[in-house]
């Protein structure tokens, strides 16, 4: 019998909607990976960009905020915008980091260059918004663009140590050089500019070097403002990543042994088993928790019962700060930088005469 037109049309619409809204994970590949919602691509769909429609669909939901970690959903945007946020967080939100190291004495086994490199990678607890960028070629820093730290430490023997002891912690004083030994030396009128400031390394227990009696380190450090695209030491995040929201659909009921096997194919908490009329029945409890290992495709009896997909415009962001600035501040700074880029682009368009 011929299929009624309305049913065929509905099936076609469902297929089109899936193509537009979902990235489908198959056994041997991923379908619908490309953005296709440009004007005229799908008859009957109005895909021309509209600000009002975008504002209605767009939202940001904060899911989890802990010390140094922020997880939030950004819904209703394109992959290009999501990736722009990620790239800006990694490479364009400025921080303060050690740029110049003046070595007055270093008799440790760590070479000067390695020591300077290690010091540069120590995150400094200083709000970069309080400082200006240092001018290129400027050797001497000023109070508005430079933070100065000193590290002066010498290892000596502990005369009270037991003779039979072999523990360096008992035998020596200051044999481990930590970031807590870095002290802020105010430049110019910085004491008046920042009366309540506590400029220091983010963590006190970062091991810089190991010393033995008679060895010492005496260095002066200049911290300047910079961005991650110049050097990774300026990057304010340990990691900034996003993933698309998982969407798991059971195409038909999965019961008893198959339900238990299905549960083991996914991350804990994704599939739960309910007892309905004496039968164990699987249901999707929280697809968000899944990592999409695609383990289910290894089982012949299960792989055709499940559809794995990701929601195309729902991005789960995870931002982990190095501790210099809280992650929510980093996100707001990234948004400001993106707005600045857009404004510069619009200014360029206005300034260039159209032919």
Query: 312, 320 in Cβ contact below 8 A?
Result: no
- The tokens describing 153, both together, are 């430490």
- Distance (Å, whole) CA 212 – CA 66: 40
Q: Which of these, 87, 84, 91, lies nearest to 231 by C-alpha position?
A: 91
pLDDT of residue 2: 52
Enumerate residues 6+ apart whose C-beta is below 8 A from 177. Answer: 108, 151, 153, 207, 208, 209, 210, 211, 217
Which stretch of DSSP H or E encloses residue 171? helix 168-171
Spatial distance between the Cα atoms of 261 and 254, rounded to a whole number of angstroms: 10
Give pLDDT tens digits along the chain (355 positions).
Answer: 554 557 777 777 777 877 888 888 888 888 878 877 777 777 777 888 888 988 998 999 999 999 899 999 999 998 899 999 999 999 999 999 999 999 999 999 999 999 999 999 999 999 999 999 998 878 788 899 999 999 999 999 999 888 888 999 999 999 999 999 999 999 989 989 888 888 999 999 999 999 999 999 999 999 999 999 999 999 999 999 999 999 999 999 888 889 999 999 999 999 999 888 888 899 999 999 999 888 999 989 888 999 999 999 999 999 999 999 999 999 999 999 999 999 999 999 888 776 6
pLDDT at residue number 322: 94
* pTM (predicted TM-score): 0.85
Domain locations along the chain? 19-93+236-251+305-341, 95-235
Maximum Cα–Cα distance across the chain: 100
| Of residues 110, 99, 186, 111, the one with CA closest to residue 150 | 186
Question: Is the CATH number 2.170.120.12 carried by domain 95-235?
Answer: yes
Q: What does 54-81 look like in DSSP terms, one character per residue? A: HHHH-EEEEEEEETTEEEEEEES--HHH
CATH number of 19-93+236-251+305-341: 3.30.1360.10
pLDDT the model gives residue 354:
65
Residue 173 corresponds to which tokens in the numbers above?
């004083």
């Amino acid at each position: 019998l011929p299929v009624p037109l309305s049913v065929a049309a509905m099936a076609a619409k469902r297929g089109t909607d899936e193509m537009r809204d979902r990235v489908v994970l198959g056994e041997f590949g991923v379908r619908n990976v490309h953005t296709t919602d440009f004007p005229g691509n799908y008859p009957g769909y109005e895909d021309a960009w509209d600000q009002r429609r975008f504002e209605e669909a767009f939202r940001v939901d904060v899911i989890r905020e802990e010390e140094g970690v922020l997880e939030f959903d950004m819904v209703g945007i394109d992959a290009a915008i999501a990736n722009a946020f990620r790239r800006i967080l990694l490479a364009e939100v400025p921080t303060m980091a050690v740029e110049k190291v003046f070595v007055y004495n270093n008799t440790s086994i760590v070479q000067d260059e390695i020591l300077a490199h290690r010091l540069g990678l120590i995150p400094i607890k200083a709000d970069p918004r309080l400082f200006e960028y240092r001018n290129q070629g400027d050797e001497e820093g000023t109070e508005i663009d430079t933070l100065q730290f000193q590290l002066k430490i010498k290892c000596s023997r502990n005369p009270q140590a037991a003779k039979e002891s072999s523990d360096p912690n008992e035998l020596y004083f200051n044999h481990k050089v930590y970031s807590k030994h870095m002290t802020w030396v105010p430049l110019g009128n910085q004491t008046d500019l920042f009366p309540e400031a506590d400029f220091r390394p983010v963590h006190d227990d970062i091991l810089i070097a190991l010393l033995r009696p008679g060895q010492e380190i005496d260095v002066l450090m200049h911290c300047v403002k910079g961005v991650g695209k110049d050097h990774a030491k300026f990057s304010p995040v340990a990691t900034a990543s996003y993933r698309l929201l998982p969407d798991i659909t059971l195409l038909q009921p999965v019961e008893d042994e198959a339900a238990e096997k299905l549960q083991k194919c996914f991350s804990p908490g994704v599939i739960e088993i309910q007892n309905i009329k004496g039968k164990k029945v699987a249901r999707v409890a929280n697809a968000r928790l899944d990592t999409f290992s695609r383990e289910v495709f290894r089982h012949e009896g299960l792989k055709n019962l499940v559809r794995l997909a990701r929601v195309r415009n729902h991005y789960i962001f995870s931002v982990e700060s190095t501790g210099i600035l809280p992650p929510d501040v980093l996100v707001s700074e990234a948004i400001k930088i993106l707005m600045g880029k857009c404004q510069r682009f619009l200014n360029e368009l206005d300034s260039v005469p159209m032919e």
